[in-house]
Amino acid sequence: MTSDTRRIGVEYITRVEGEGWLKVAIRDGKVSECNFGIFEPPRFFEAFMRGRKFTEAPDITARICGICPVAYQVSSVQAMEMVCGVTIDPVVDELRTLIYCGEWIESHTLHMYLLHAPDFLGYESGIALAADHPDEVGRGLRLKQTGNAIVAALGGREIHPVGLRVGGYHRVPTRNELAPLIPRLEQARDDAIQTVDWVATLPMPEANRDDEYVALAADDHYAIHHGRIRSTRGLDIAVEEWNDHFAEEHVERSTALHSHLKERGMYQVGPTARFNLSEELLRPVALEAAHRNGLTAPCTNPFKSIVVRAVETLHAVDLALDILDRYQRPAHPYVPVTPTAGVGHGASEAPRGLLYHRYEIDSEGRVKTAQIVPPTAQNQASIEADLLHLVERNLELSDADLQHLLEQSIRNYDPCISCSAHFLHVEVDRA
């Protein structure tokens, strides 16, 4: 290494699920290399779904991620219900929204309080943050537990819930069984409001990205698991048109596939994308909290994603209360589903962004092919672009300070790297 060369390597990025690395090389005052990589072993889920029964998809794919299993379950059951031509009871469908709210609450809260906020305040960990800010971190844990409680009430357990099935739920709770959630959610609403106000005070690095934001969006609600795929640059397609507009490619340094829009290249998914596309459809209490703290669409500073997460947490808490208030137990927890040969597509908004599933099944309900596009894979190119942008603007920082800034930037996307691995078929040319 010459005197005018700086190389900063971060081999293990902490406080993200899974593991990844980034490499930045600076030569003569310019960035010559900036790569964010993943070296977690491939997960092979798309491959070993082949031959399995269509009813197994929700429980198998849920194992891809311990943080967002509900997202995998919902995307997969919706894909199977599409191919089999099934429409589920609207009340049962709303219970899917409810368990999804629980997942947003627990995932967002974990990320904000224990993974990301320490970056903004200069702490090495959530534990160190808790020592100086016990009330705030205690509030975060209380919020997360409420999210856990929703998932457990509907999914049977907090981790890798098992309640969902193709056609509905295995069992739906009575109104009395869900009633204990209401006072917890009322407390959670206060906690979530305070969370928005707190994260909005965090010292926010300046950054501005001219990016295309992609999310599920609807005309009448802040989309979680129903809607069309839209972007801030005019994309507006049905979920089943995914492969007409998006492509995945293997990048040598990563075991995850990188996604891009065929016509325009990189894009990003996640809370900021949802907010930028559907801000006005937030629950009124969440929209008011966002505006009170100066957050309006379009939000183009990736660091403000932590504020968007707080706003979405408040939205999810308030929506969960609304669903519980109206809930009447449906007569049947599920509709029987007879397998039909064909192709089905499902998309939903995992906490960290759009999650697309596509399955082809035969007449006996065996999976012939599976395609799973997780949010972190879609954000890979955007994460790298952020890093390049930051390095170029902050060359004067010490290596340690630059490393801290880059890790903080990666966490803007809450990259659940465990989600981002595909099976890759490799052809070897021996000529």
Partner 1 sequence: MRNDAVIVGVGNTDRGDDGVGIVVAGIAGSLTGIAVRTVNDPFDIVDAWGFADLVIVIDATKGASSPGAITVFDVGSDTFPPAFPSSSSHGLGLADAVALGKALGRLPNHLVVIGVEGATFEGVGLSPQVSDAVDAAVGAVLEVMSHA
Q: How far apart are CA 314 and CA 310, in angstroms?
A: 6
Show the tokens assigned to 27: 């030569």
CB of 356 to partner 1, least distance (A): 26
Query: DSSP string of 70-135?
Result: HHHHHHHHHHHHHHTT----HHHHHHHHHHHHHHHHHHHHIIIIIIIHHHHHT-SSHHHHHHH-HH
Q: Which is nearer to partner 1, 9 or 134 (CB)?
A: 134
Show the tokens assigned to 275: 């907010």
**Nearest 5°: phi and psi at 352?**
-100, 10
Gap between the terminal Cα atoms of the chain = 37
CB of 233 to partner 1, least distance (A): 36
Q: Which is nearer to partner 1, 162 or 207 (CB)?
A: 162
Q: How far apart are CA 322 and CA 82, in angstroms?
A: 27
Q: Which is nearer to partner 1, 409 or 418 (CB)?
A: 418
Q: Which residues bind partner 1 (CB under 8 A)?
A: 14-17, 63, 66, 110, 114, 125-128, 130-131, 134, 137-138, 141, 144-145, 148, 158-160
**Which 8-state DSSP code applies to residue 201?**
T
**Which 8-state DSSP code applies to residue 255?**
S
CB of 159 to partner 1, least distance (A): 4
CB of 86 to partner 1, least distance (A): 29
Q: Which is nearer to partner 1, 231 or 255 (CB)?
A: 255
CB of 280 to partner 1, least distance (A): 34
**For the chain, what is the radius of gyration of the CA atoms?**
21
CB of 145 to partner 1, least distance (A): 5
Cβ atoms of residues 160 and 62 within 8 Å: yes
CB of 341 to partner 1, least distance (A): 32
Q: How far apart are CA 257 and CA 197, in angstroms?
A: 37
Q: Which is nearer to partner 1, 39 or 397 (CB)?
A: 39
SS3 136: helix
Q: Which is nearer to partner 1, 125 or 296 (CB)?
A: 125
Q: Which is nearer to partner 1, 137 or 216 (CB)?
A: 137
